Amino acid sequence: MKVKNKTRKSAAKRFRVTPTGKVLHRVQGFRHLRDVKGKRNLRRLKKQTALIGKFASKVKKMLGIK
């Protein structure tokens, strides 16, 4: 009997996989002490960025995607 992989819920809340297979995540440093940071930096921190390499494949495995 084949056993299904369980999704790691902590990873599912933090990462998103696009239809093309890229793994996106939020950039750190956006949640507090915003008045110290510059506006250009805050705009850059708002965007989601893609993971690359081995860590992206590990996250896909945690999400149940091969």
Tally of CB atoms within 10 A around 50: 10
Q: List the domains of the chain with CATH numbers.
A: 9-62 (4.10.410.60)
Residues contacting residue 65 through CB under 8 Å, at least 6 positions apart: 17
**Helices in the chain by DSSP H: which ranges?**
9-14, 39-46, 54-62
Mean pLDDT over 11-31 rounds to 95
Distance in angstroms (rounded) separating the CA atoms of residues 38 and 16: 27
CA gap 25, 12 in Å, rounded: 10
Which residue did the predictor score with more confidence, 3 or 35? Answer: 35
pLDDT of residue 15: 97
The whole-number pLDDT of residue 37 equals 96
Predicted structure pTM score: 0.81
